[in-house]
Structure formats: C-alpha cells, structure tokens
Structure 1
Amino acid sequence: MLNSCLFLNASHTMIQYNPKDWIIFIFRFHESDTFRRLIPMMIFIGLYAGGIAYLEIEYWKLADSSHVKNLSLIHTTVGFVLSLLLAYRTNTAYDRWWEGRKAWGGLVNNSRNLALKLSAYLTDDNDRAFFRKIIPAYAAVLSKHLLNEDVSKMLFEGLDLEIDHHKHHPNQVAKRLFQKANALYTTGKISGDQFFIINEELKSFTDVCGVCERIKNTPIPYSYSAFIKKFIFFYVITLPFGFVFSLGYYVIPVVVFIFYVLASLELIAEEIEDPFGTDTNDLPTPKMAANIKKHVEELL
C-alpha cells in the first residue's frame, strides 16, 4: 500500500467558508486577506494624502478658484477606464483558475472511470494491484510536478517504475501506464474492444497535464500587469490634489479606501491567475490526488 501521508502533505489548504455568513467576512482578517498585505502601503498613502492636504490648506492656502481643483474631473474620466481594466484583469485571472479546476475535475472523473472499467475487465490480482497503485500515483506526481516539488521514491513502492528526475515526471508515469495496458491487450487479458474503450481515459491523463502546464507556464503578459500597477499608483497619488478642496482632511481616509479597493482587485487577480501554487486560494491538488487514491482503491 502506498503511504497515505505522501498524498496528504499539502503545503496549503483552501479556505473553507460559508458564503452566506456576512459577519465573519466583514470582521475576520485571514492571513491571505488583502487588507493585511496592504497595511504598509495604506499607511504610506494616508501619510502622503495628509501631507498634500496640509500643503494645500495650511501652507499654500489655495483658493477654491485654483485650477488644481479641476483635477477631480480627470479622475472621473480615467477612473472609468481603470475600472474596465481591473474587471477584465480579474475575469481573466478567474478563468485561468477555473480552467485548472475543470482540468483536475476531469482527472478525478477519468481516474474513477478507468478504475471502474479495469475492475470489470481484470481478474489477475497482480494486474489489479498495479493499476490500484499507478493510477493514483499519476495524480500525485502531477500535483508535485505543478508545485515544483521532488517526487519521493516511496511513491512508487511496489511498482516496476524508476523515475528519471531529469525527464518529465508525469510523462514517465503515463508511459508506464499505457505500456501495461498494451501488454494486457497483447497477452489476451483484455480484448481489442476493451483496450479501445479504456484508451480515452489513458489519453486524457496527458491532456490534463498539458492544460495545467499551459496555465502555469503562460503568465499574464508582463507589460499588461505592470501597466495596471502603475496606473493604480499614479491614479491614487494624484487623488488628494483635487479632492482636498471638497473633503479637506477627510481626503485621507477616502484616498486610503480607494487605494485599498483598487489594489485588492489586482492582488486577488495575481493570486488566482496561477492556481497551482501554495497560496490559500490555490487549488488543493494534493488533496484531490488523495481523493483519487481513495476512490481507485475502493474500485480495485
């Protein structure tokens, strides 16, 4: 039996929550909450806004007729453009996260389907034991591959498989899986029709790996991400100049709040655009691999 802890040593766990519990959402600050991460910058923005307010009100004593007051008109126009950019940025990041989740959902279903079919086809205990170990092993290896973690030799205990750490790990497991299925056909343990039926599940393992690698290895273009960050920064630091005339020193909490909203959207997009990391909002691939192991062992 494979050591269960190899499938459960997840370096992160997704946050479990009740989406209807508003009170906890509002007053609880989790370690991944954007408020915690933005506190230093919010303090800086607050001090900066207070400094601009002091200069305009106490030092320069700008009159309401000053042209600086008209800067707020620019923010109204530019703010609309910024909101569109952030909406597109967040939606794009979530699409990547959801595509990764669908890929792993497909891996879970195909692993079950393959185990279910093999449980009906195979009568030899050694063959059943081989697939009982190697099907979950593929999911565990893929999870470690996406997390850039080393694969333990204990993961393949009882399998005729040696992993070359200089080559693609999931492909080596998929190759051995297909070789074994082909051997079953050539030795007459399964028919040609049965081999054809399980071929779709065998092929899907590599398809899932390709989707996950495409998401992980193709980040959002640097120029686009850098532009949004600069846009947010310069938008926020110019806010106090025009709003001081109508808000006075109340411009400090207002500007800090606007910065918090805009920067939080960018931080959320950054975190979920790569769903195969160790952040609390990333996909719990080790846990899903452990579920695959449990279900396959029940079927085989």
Structure 2
Amino acid sequence: MISYNPKDWITFIFRFHKADTFRQLFVMMVLIGLYAAGVAYLEIEYWQLPDSSHVKNISMMHGMLGFVISLLLVFRTNTAYDRWWEGRKLWGALVNNSRNLALKLHAILDDEKDKTFFRKMIPSYAAILNKHLKDEETGKQLFEEISFTEDHHTHRPNQVAKMMFLRVNELYKKQKITGDQLIILNSELQSFTDICGACERIKNTPIPYSYSVFLKKFIFFYVMTLPFGYVFNLGYYVVPVVVFIFYVLASLELIAEEIEEPFGHDANDLPTRKIAENIKKHVEELL
C-alpha cells in the first residue's frame, strides 16, 4: 500500500506514480486522440457538414446518458471501496484477536513449552493467510470450469488452525486448563477461521461479469460517439476534450478494478504482509 501525506495535495498533481492511471491509459488516450482528430477532419474538411446537420444533435444523447454513466461509476467505485475497507476491517480484527489470544494464553498457561508452541503458531496463521489470499488458485475456487485435486493440505490456514485446536484440546485433557478456559480459548480460535472465510468470500467473488462488461462497453461507446456531436462547437479542440473525458471515466473503472480485490500485489492493495509481521512482533512480546 502506498504511504503518502493526504495534506500535500499539490504534489499529487505534478507527480506520476507507477500506479497512476495515466501511465496505464496512455496508449489508449493516444489512440482515442487520433480517432477524435480523424472524426473532426472528416466532418470539417472532408464532409464539410453544416451547422444545421442532424449529426450535431448527437450531443443531446451525451447529456442524457452522462447522468446514467455517473450513477453507474459511483456505484462501481463505492462497491469496490466497500470490499477494500471490509478486507481492512477483517485484518484489523485478526490483529486484535491474535493479541487477545496471546494475552489469555499468557495468563492461563504455566508450561513454557506450551507458550512457545502458541508463540510460533499464532503469527504463523497470519503469515500463511497472507500467502493463501495472494495465491491465484484461491480466487478460482468457485469457478465452475475449474476443479482442483482433493488435497487437504492445499488449505494451509485450516491446517494451522487445526493444530492450535488440537493443542488446546490436549491441554484440556491433561487438565492444564479448565472447561471455562477451554470455551474462552475456543471462541478466539474460531474467530481466526471466521476471518479467513470472510476474506475468501471477498477474494472468490468478483463483481458480476455482466455488470463489469456492460460498464466498460458503455464507457467505450460513449467516448467513441463524443467527437461526432461536439466537433460543431469545439472544432479540433474536441481532441483534448474527448481524451480528457476518456481519462476520467476509464480511470474510475481502473481504480475500482484495483481495489475490489484488496489481497493482491497491486500498489493500493492492503499491506497484509506488514500486518502479519506486526502480529508476530506483538505476540512474541506478550508470550
């Protein structure tokens, strides 16, 4: 995740980060500019359409559809940000639950071997969950055309959670902890699996395909028809205007695509590796 000072907004205008949408859209912006220039040349120089031409009225369509496309893009970006923020809340809950479990185990356990076991296993769950969510196969588990071989060790977070559950149950059988303490520890351990399942839900369930495709087509055809109507009012100045409109609309879609899956390797994804390292440091301090 990119660290920045939100108050230093003037610097953002003149600096192009590697994750900036301008870099990603530059080739398309050049092509759109050439296309707009070609349409302007045809209408002004070749066809020499008069101001009374019905082609001029195409701009009325853009005025009506502009409100619709703005609503779609607002819904798209809000939905993507909700997924990003939910992922951040889940990893925040994992941090808190790891600390709470470490605190309770420190107070309950007397054997240093048992403390050493959980000192290693609690941070391991966060570290392995981070790798699990970044694995491409994790995001394909709900694809109907893809089937994976049955291997119980492919879901590594479950294996770590199972080892901790078995160790807690062993402590209860050896009467190192009471039944009430078993219930307390069980709720903390169960929360780990709940968080993993919620993260997998975000990872495995992208925005519906039909909605995403429709929005991209809408933006494309909206921008492609802009030069025809606005050439009459702007002349060749329609080229930078159309390029700028495309940049704004396409950038919103790119930003939404990047943050809707917050567990990847993109610049604006959640710093799950750093969070896992912090969990390790905190647990080792407590145990």
Match of residue 46, structure 2, among 59, 64, 67: 59
Within a 5 Å distance, the mapping from 1:92-171 to structure 2 comes to 92-148=79-135, 166-171=153-158
- Which position in structure 2 is the counterpart of 1:215? 202
1:16 pairs with 2:3? yes
| 1:37-68 deviation per Cα after TM superposition (whole angstroms, max 9, x unaligned) | 00000000001101111111111111110000
CA contact (8 A) 2:153 2:159 kept: no
- Which position in structure 1 is the counterpart of 2:64? 77
**Which ranges of structure 2 fall in alignment gaps of 5 or more residues?**
138-150
Match of residue 255, structure 1, among 242, 261, 264: 242
SS at match of 1:277: coil
CA drift of 1:220 comes to 0.7
Between the aligned partners of 2:12 and 2:99, the Cα distance in structure 1 is 36
Between the aligned partners of 1:165 and 1:291, the Cα distance in structure 2 is 29
Match of residue 233, structure 2, among 237, 246, 250: 246
Match of residue 282, structure 1, among 264, 269, 275: 269
Match of residue 269, structure 1, among 256, 265, 283: 256
CA drift of 1:194 comes to 1.3
Match of residue 75, structure 2, among 88, 99, 120: 88
Task: Report how many aligned residue pairs link the two structures.
Answer: 274
- Which position in structure 1 is the counterpart of 2:25? 38
CA drift of 1:165 comes to 7.1
Between the aligned partners of 1:109 and 1:236, the Cα distance in structure 2 is 47
Between the aligned partners of 1:296 and 1:105, the Cα distance in structure 2 is 15
What is the TM-score of this pair, normalised by structure 1?
A: 0.89
Q: CA RMSD in A?
A: 1.2
Q: 1:194 to 1:16 in 2, by over 3 A?
A: same
Between the aligned partners of 2:109 and 2:136, the Cα distance in structure 1 is 34
Superposition misfits of 4+ residues, deviation over 6 angstroms: none
**Which ranges of structure 1 fall in alignment gaps of 5 or more residues?**
1-13, 151-163
- Which position in structure 2 is the counterpart of 1:49? 36
Between the aligned partners of 2:62 and 2:92, the Cα distance in structure 1 is 44
Between the aligned partners of 1:62 and 1:95, the Cα distance in structure 2 is 48
Q: 1:78 to 1:149 in 2, by over 3 A?
A: closer
What is the TM-score of this pair, normalised by structure 2?
A: 0.93
| 1:158-208 deviation per Cα after TM superposition (whole angstroms, max 9, x unaligned) | xxxxxx774311111101111111111111111111111122111000000
CA drift of 1:146 comes to 0.6
CA drift of 1:284 comes to 1.1
| 1:241-261 deviation per Cα after TM superposition (whole angstroms, max 9, x unaligned) | 000001011100000000000
Between the aligned partners of 2:235 and 2:284, the Cα distance in structure 1 is 68
Q: 1:53 to 1:149 in 2, by over 3 A?
A: closer
- Which position in structure 2 is the counterpart of 1:295? 282
| 1:198-244 deviation per Cα after TM superposition (whole angstroms, max 9, x unaligned) | 22111000000000000000111111101000000000010000000
Q: 1:224 to 1:149 in 2, by over 3 A?
A: closer
Between the aligned partners of 1:242 and 1:20, the Cα distance in structure 2 is 40
Q: Sequence identity, in percent?
A: 75
1:187 pairs with 2:174? yes
- Which position in structure 1 is the counterpart of 2:212? 225
CA drift of 1:149 comes to 7.8
Bigger shift: residues 230-239 or 23-32: 23-32
